[in-house]
Structure 1
């Protein structure tokens, strides 16, 4: 994941680029068999360990999704954490410092 968090006044703008194939489960492979769904289901953002955003995603989210949101009260030096879990049970967590 690429996470960028920048102070903007009394808030911080967080931008996240996630690397994930995000298969919808509605396509067929070259043999004509359905490709099973495989996508990010749950996304959580934290500020210094406290949850500030949660999201539930479905199969309509694009490959390598981009997420942007604003966190009130974040200051330079604070830690932003992003974690996700997909339909196969895989997960990832990354952290960035607000600049």
Structure 2
């Protein structure tokens, strides 16, 4: 399992715009680089990132082989109600990882 780092405020006021930053430790092998035996290493990339806030999709990104290792994605959302943010990364070789963080919206 890959290691995910997510930075976001634990709480916000209603209507406040907050920054969310997500990074996942993953090598992102393109499938074109030769291995020690001279044959190309098999492709192993994260192909999609998605974040849902209270079950509603707020961002979806399709990633490609040119994406760097340990992909970092930052975005802004408007805090409306308290609830979970669910982050999902999916990729080659049946890779899938989901992390959840709670956001408290307080007046």
**TM-score when normalising by structure 2:** 0.81
Aligned to 2:6: 3
Show structure 1 runs of 5+ residues with no match: none
Larger radius of gyration: 2
> CA–CA distance in 2 between the matches of 1:61 and 1:19?
13
Report how many residues are paired.
98
Aligned to 1:12: 18
Which runs of at least 4 in structure 1 moved beyond 2 Å after TM superposition? 6-9, 75-78
CA contact (8 A) 1:75 1:98 kept: no
1:49 pairs, out of 21, 34, 55, with 55
Offset, 1:77 = 4.4
Aligned to 2:76: 70
> CA–CA distance in 2 between the matches of 1:96 and 1:81?
7
1:80 pairs, out of 74, 78, 85, with 85
3-state secondary structure, aligned to 1:70: strand
> CA–CA distance in 1 between the matches of 2:81 and 2:23?
21
**TM-score when normalising by structure 1:** 0.87
Aligned Cα root-mean-square deviation (Å): 1.9
Per-residue displacement from partner, 1:17-44 (whole Å, max 9, x unpaired)? 1011110111001110001111001111
